[in-house]
Amino acid sequence: MTFSELLFLVRSDLYRRAGTVSARTFLRHYFIEPGFKYGFWLRVRQFVASRTLLRILFLPVMKLVMLQLGFKYGIMIAGVARIGPGFYICHFGGIWISNEAVIGRNVNISQDVTIGVTCRGKRQGAPVIGDNVYIGPGAKVIGRIRVGNNVAIGANSLVCRDVPDNAVVVGVPARIISMHGAAGYVNNTDYDVVLAPAKPDIVPQPVELMEKEGPAEAGR
């Protein structure tokens, strides 16, 4: 990861939350929004881990910082989890994301959400989540499954099977109740235009990973 990529990721996360990007906006959300603060340090930790010298000098410190923030805010996101730009932690507390997870652009995470692995069976592994996805409070997304683009997952749902694009799913296990997608829940996604001069190539999209590597490899 380059510094320009780090800057773009942080600014895209901020824009998703505030609809604008400025030093004042950054400071306000950093000090009053635990989700943004945690996400900022997660991005910095991933940048440090990607640079050899910084990794040697500062990665142990960054791990301690993330551990302290995790205990304080109840958020545990693996430093190696692949998360696209525009990541939005809506509310903090009880959040767990596996180190094997792949998360696309503009994904909203609510409180008490787990994105985790299964350790046996045909869906052994972790989820691949597409773009513009809303994950409601208490939802659990488990196993080597694919959650498509523009999906809304209702509160306290258990998602353990593939979800097609534009679906709204609820229940235990989750079932499709409509095809109205996440419209209205995932907002401020036009940062590609607003931040265009600073936009780098970030990461392959989750759907591209699935097509290139196959479901088993993309989920791990």
First-to-last C-alpha distance (Å) of the chain: 20
Q: Are 116 and 98 in contact (CB under 8 A)?
A: yes
Q: Are 84 and 107 in contact (CB under 8 A)?
A: yes
Question: Mean pLDDT throughout 20-24?
Answer: 94
Task: Express each pLDDT in 29-64 by its tens digit.
Answer: 999 999 999 999 999 999 999 999 999 999 999 999
Q: Are 136 and 130 in contact (CB under 8 A)?
A: no
For domain 3-184, say whether CATH 2.160.10.10 is its number.
Answer: yes
d(CA 66, CA 95): 13
Tally of CB atoms within 10 A around 214: 10
- Delimit the domains of the chain by residue range: 3-184
Position 200 scores a pLDDT of 59
> Which of 135, 125, 133, 146 has the alpha carbon at shortest distance from 170?
135
Position 120 scores a pLDDT of 87
Position 209 scores a pLDDT of 46
pTM: 0.86
Neighbouring-strand partners of residue 159: 141
Burial of 54 (0-12, 13-18, 19+ CB in 10 A): middle
Question: Which residues make Cβ contacts (< 8 Å) with residue 198, sequence separation at least 6?
Answer: 4, 7, 8, 11
> Which of 134, 126, 141, 117 has the alpha carbon at shortest distance from 181?
134
Task: Express each pLDDT in 158-199 by its tens digit.
Answer: 999 999 999 999 999 999 999 999 999 999 999 988 887 655
Question: Mean pLDDT throughout 8-23?
Answer: 95
Length of the chain: 220
Burial of 119 (0-12, 13-18, 19+ CB in 10 A): exposed
